[in-house]
Amino acid sequence: MMLCKTDRLMFKCHLKALSVLVFHLLLLHFGRGVARLTGPSQPVIATLGDDIILPCHLDPAVDASGFTLEWTRPDLNPRFVHVWRDGVELVGKKHKYFEGRTSLFIDELKNGNISLKLSKVKVSDKGRYRCFIPGAETQSFAELVVGSVSSPVIKLAGVDRDRGGVILRCESKGWCPEPEVFWLNGEGNLLSAGPTETVRGPEGLYTVSSRVTVEKRHNNNFTCRVQQKNINQTRETHIIVSDDFFMFPFCNSAVPIITGLAVILAGIVLILTIVLFVWRKNRTNKMRNYTVKSERGQNGNDTELQALSTEQKEGEEPLTTPTVLEKNKGGEKKTENTLNQQLQEEQQQSEEDENRLKTMEQELENMNKVENKHTELQELHEVHQKKQEDLQELKEKIETTNKELLRIRNSQSFFQLVSDHGMQVQ
């Protein structure tokens, strides 16, 4: 039995060696066009996140399952993307960037298909890949182009008052490679737009935006088109601008009229302000003149009283003195009453202010007392809490002491019991 197993193993080894020999014999004819590695004639275009295949075949088809196969990317270090040897993948050799994302079609290796499957394509996967069999003088290359696209968005960005037009802004995020932006009118003709603004994000994706000023037409349908020729991708968005947005030329012609009305209104306001100021000033002057006249009238009455008193001393008859005296006395009484009333009001106001001040002082004093009481209460609370802690600590010590005493008593009772029992035994 052991001999049979050994023979079978040797047979398999010889068969494998024979297949290797046959393969290498074929490789000797690669230069003569008998067999060679073939790859894609055009770049392989992949969309971000897709699973793609990098083609590579032996022509004519030869079983390649027992040989070493290498997929590499020369710009990486290490350069290995996928390595197949002795029927297994050498995971330790491949670049960590491709871990878990590459595989071969195992069942197709016998047909000479050594294409590479790359899963979950990333932007950084783009580049030139090499399909190679060590020991052979043939190789093939596959150029991978990774693309990412998104639909653009159009927004109204303002108005152009000089031209009476509307400013449109188009933005599209997440493109790779960098795309171009075009504006078209309703007839499909290109519009003259400003320069395209491009921002590249941290993941290598581009955000593009463009502005254009459009004027009113019979067809206010406008299109923003974003395209990338390398990946043959195009996205576009349409917008229809209402005629109401193109009313700004009328507004421009009305600007001088509105400005003139504003100047007239400002002048009217200024005139009214001056008239009001003059009226207030005249009123103030009249009040002052009235006060001066009142004071002069009182002084004249005093002079008249003095003159009458002098005439009485000289012995002349005071014909009108009683009437004048009565008038003067009535005015003096009115003035005196007014002054007394004002004095009383001022005294009353002063007393009210003093009472209010005393009340405020009393309230402040009460607040200080309350604050002091609160502080004292806080201190008493802290003292009480400290005493509670001391009392708890004392209780714990007493319990510990009681336990120790109980243990000692139990020990003494035990020893006494043993001693008594020993004496009884004797």
Task: For tokens 């974003």, name the residue.
Answer: 226
Backbone angles phi, psi at 268, to 5 degrees: -60, -45
3-state DSSP percent of the chain in helix, strand and coil, to 5: 50, 25, 25
Please state, in angstroms and rounded to a whole number, the distance separating the CA atoms of residues 345 and 99. 99
Hey, which residues does 237 pair with through a beta bridge?
Answer: 224
Question: Taking a C-beta distance cutoff of 8 angstroms, is the pair 57, 47 a contact?
Answer: no
For the residues of 1-24, what is the DSSP string, one character each? -HHHHHHHHHHHHHHHHHHHHHHH
Q: Do domains 15-147 and 153-246 have the same CATH topology?
A: yes
Coil, strand or helix: which one is 45?
strand
Residue 322 has a pLDDT of: 47
- Can you give the pLDDT at residue 204? 86
Instruction: Provide the β-strand partners of residue 82.
Output: 71
The answer to whether the beta carbons of residues 175 and 123 sit under 8 Å apart is no
Q: Is 135 helix (H, G, I), strand (E, B) or coil?
A: coil
Q: What is the pLDDT along the chain (426 residues), one digit of tens a residue?
A: 433 444 554 545 555 545 544 555 444 344 444 568 999 999 999 998 999 999 999 988 888 888 899 999 999 999 999 999 988 999 999 999 999 999 999 999 999 999 999 999 999 999 999 999 988 778 999 999 999 999 999 999 888 877 778 999 999 999 999 999 999 998 889 999 989 999 998 788 999 999 999 988 778 899 999 999 988 899 999 999 887 777 544 444 455 566 667 778 777 877 888 877 777 777 777 666 656 555 555 555 555 545 545 544 455 444 444 454 455 555 555 566 776 777 777 677 767 767 776 777 777 677 767 667 667 777 777 777 787 788 888 888 888 888 888 888 777 776 666 566 554 444
* Order of strands, sheet of 165-175, starting from the edge strand that comes earlier in the sequence: 153-160, 165-175, 206-214, 197-200
Burial 53-82 (b: 16+ CB within 10 A, else e): ebbbbbeeebebbbbebbbbbeeeeeebbb
- Residue 182's CB is within 10 A of a number of other CB atoms, namely 19
> Is the distance from CB of 318 to CB of 312 less than 8 angstroms?
yes
Omega before 134 within 30 of 0, i.e. cis: no
How far apart CA 421 and CA 426 sit, in angstroms, is 9
CA dist., res. 370 & res. 361, Å (int) = 14
What distance in Å separates the CA atoms of residue 113 and residue 121, rounded to the nearest whole number? Answer: 21
Query: What is the torsional sign of CA 95, 97, 100, 104?
Result: negative
Q: Inter-axis angle of helices 321-425 and 248-314, to 10 degrees?
A: 120
DSSP secondary structure letters along 111-128 = GTB--EEE-S--GGG-EE
Within 13 Å, how many C-alpha atoms sit on residue 222's CB side?
27
Domain ranges of the chain: 15-147, 153-246, 250-350
Asked if residue 184 lies in contact with residue 214, where contact means CB atoms within 8 angstroms, the answer is: no
Q: Give the gyration radius of the chain's Cα atoms.
A: 56
For 190, half-sphere exposure in the C-beta direction (CA atoms, 13 angstrom radius) is 6
- In this structure, the number of other CB atoms found within 10 A of the CB of residue 103 comes to 14
Which residues sit opposite 213 in a β-bridge?
167
d(CA 239, CA 156): 10
Q: Does domain 153-246 sit in CATH 1.20.140.160?
A: no
User: In CATH, which superfamily holds the domain spanning 15-147?
Assistant: Immunoglobulins (2.60.40.10)
Taking the alpha carbons of 70, 71, 75, 78 in that order, is the dihedral positive or negative? Answer: negative
Using omega within 30 degrees of 0 as the cis cutoff, is the peptide bond preceding 78 cis? yes
Helix (H, G, I), strand (E, B) or coil at 284: helix
Residue type, 171: E
